[in-house]
Amino acid sequence: MAAFERGRVRIGRSVPLAGKLVEEIGNVRGDGRCEGSSHDDLAFALALAVWKAEMGEVGHQGGGRLL
């Protein structure tokens, strides 16, 4: 995920399932397929949220944060 790689998305340690999310992001290839694990729902949910935020269509955005 480009936003993750550019440092636009940071995942705090207190985020529930943070470790699982980071693992899933690491398994997503450039073509959108998932390696090693058949689970990618967290990674793609985050990707959709980031996309909507970058479009300026998500709730409150302050200081580069969603909600």
Could you tell me the two tokens for 15? Answer: 């985020």
Whole-angstrom Cα Rg for the chain: 12
pTM score of the predicted model = 0.65
Q: Which of 35, 30, 38 is nearest to 5 (CA)?
A: 30
Residues in the chain, overall count: 67
* CA–CA distance, 42 with 34 (Å, rounded to integer): 12
Give the pLDDT confidence of 8-55 residue by residue, as tens digits: 888 888 888 888 888 888 888 766 677 765 678 888 888 888 888 887
